[in-house]
Amino acid sequence: MPDLSRFNLRDRFGDWWDKASPIQRGFTRVFVISLFYALPLINNPVIDTPETSFQSVLFYPLAMFSLMAVGLNVVVGKSGILDLGYVAFFAIGAYTYAMFALKTSLNFWEILPLAMGFAMLAGVILGLPALRLRGDYLAIITLGFGEIVRIVAINTEAIGGAAGLTSIPGPPAFLGHEFTVMDPRPYYWLTLTLLSLVIWGVLRLSHRKPGRAWEAIREDEDVAEFMGVSTLKYKLWAFIIGGAVGGAAGAVYASQIRSIQPEMFTLNLSIMILACVVFGGMGNIWGVILGAVLLGYLPEKLRFLSETRIIFFGLLMVVMMNIRPNGLLPRKKREVVGEKK
């Protein structure tokens, strides 16, 4: 199906964006961002989901998946490192937040950088040895890492063992918004703010040297190395940045859900986030977010999907790869041209 696989909405919008004046761009930015901030204020039965309110679905899974998918996109989409253990960073962030919040008097804002730091540290510890490998081997190693983190959490009594950690305190009030268990909206706004910062940061990096290095590595690692790109360094940075975003997502999640168990951090979640990235369009932030929103929202909305969603996603990954290997909203065409036909 050549037409279906070539049509690229992203390019259409990209062309418009390139020609737009600074005023038009600024206006679009403000409009889109305020639209997203206003989303939880909508109360409409059409978008409500059968099980939970639209507001709580907005926080988890939509905003959470989007944040993690954007983080994983730096690793998988930008640099072509297949990471099947992304949930490990999420788990490390969640456990770091929970442990510090329970054992020390630090509050959420002080622990958040710590959670990201621990996730980054884990990224270095795993990445330094593992990133020397490629493709399939790296995928298996990262998968193993994700499972090791979970099994270690189950078997370590000091961090709650299989029962996990409970009664984790939430963040302190911010600008008059209380972070309570009942109201998911402040958490949504918090996640959205983090997401906006991450998108901004990743876009900045993508347009500069690291972004070019990542693309070169993804397209052909050997050639990139010959051209003087320090491949291990940039792969490691991609891994660490992705890990930090996952860690931040984990900390926010733990602060909202208030109790965490090792069984929350299974391979299924890694695959779920990977499916968002692949489905939406590897390498393109907007595509990845679209993927996260669709794959997060549909199973909540359609009950028959939530029972069978992993089957559905498995099938989707196979079909997507066969028909439209670059996802719904692929990255820019100039990058696609060089790929093998």
Partner 1 sequence: MDFSIVVSDFASLTLDGIVVGAIYALVALGYTLVYGVLRLINFAHSEIFMMGTMTAVFVTSILGFTGYEDPLPLWRFFLVFALIVIAASVVSGGAAVILEIVAYRRLRNMGASRLSSLISAIGASFFLTETFRLLTDSRNLDFPRMISKEPLFQFSSAYVTQDKLLVLAGAAILFYGLNRVINHTRLGLGIRAVSQDERTSVLMGVNVNRVISFTFLIGGVLAGAGSAFYMVFYEVTKSNVGFLIGISAFTAAVLGGIGNIRGALIGSFALGLFQQYTAAVLGYNWRDVVTFVVLVLVLLVKPTGLFGEALQKARV
Which residues are at the interface with partner 1 (CB under 8 A)? 80, 82, 84, 129-130, 132-137, 139-141, 143-145, 147-148, 151-152, 154-155, 221-222, 267, 271, 274-275, 278, 307-308, 310-311, 313-318, 320-322, 325, 339-341
Select 102 or 316, whichever has its Cβ closest to partner 1.
316
Q: How far apart are CA 183 and CA 222, in angstroms?
A: 51
CB atoms within 10 A of CB 232: 14
Residue 282 amino acid letter: M
Select 132 or 332, whichever has its Cβ closest to partner 1.
132
Select 6 or 132, whichever has its Cβ closest to partner 1.
132
Select 77 or 246, whichever has its Cβ closest to partner 1.
77
Select 9 or 139, whichever has its Cβ closest to partner 1.
139
Q: Strand, coil or helix: what is 13?
A: helix
Cβ atoms of 273 and 253 closer than 8 Å: no
Q: Strand, coil or helix: what is 15?
A: helix
Select 102 or 336, whichever has its Cβ closest to partner 1.
336
Nearest distance in Å: CB 277, partner 1: 10
Nearest distance in Å: CB 321, partner 1: 4
Nearest distance in Å: CB 133, partner 1: 6
Select 111 or 143, whichever has its Cβ closest to partner 1.
143
Helix locations, the chain, DSSP H: 2-6, 9-19, 22-38, 54-57, 64-73, 87-103, 108-130, 135-155, 185-206, 209-219, 221-226, 231-257, 267-280, 285-301, 303-307, 309-323, 333-337
Q: How far apart are CA 307 and CA 172, in angstroms?
A: 36
What is the SS3 assignment for 236-281?
Answer: HHHHHHHHHHHHHHHHHHHHHHCCECHHHCCHHHHHHHHHHHHHHC
Select 139 or 199, whichever has its Cβ closest to partner 1.
139
Among all chains, which residue has been given the structure tokens 């072509």? 80
Nearest distance in Å: CB 286, partner 1: 20
Select 199 or 316, whichever has its Cβ closest to partner 1.
316
Nearest distance in Å: CB 326, partner 1: 9
Nearest distance in Å: CB 199, partner 1: 23
Nearest distance in Å: CB 231, partner 1: 13
Cβ atoms of 287 and 280 closer than 8 Å: yes
Cβ atoms of 155 and 282 closer than 8 Å: no
Please state the separation of Cα 200 from the chain's center in Å: 14
Nearest distance in Å: CB 257, partner 1: 23
Give every CB contact of residue 304 below 8 A, 6+ residues apart in sequence: none
Nearest distance in Å: CB 145, partner 1: 8
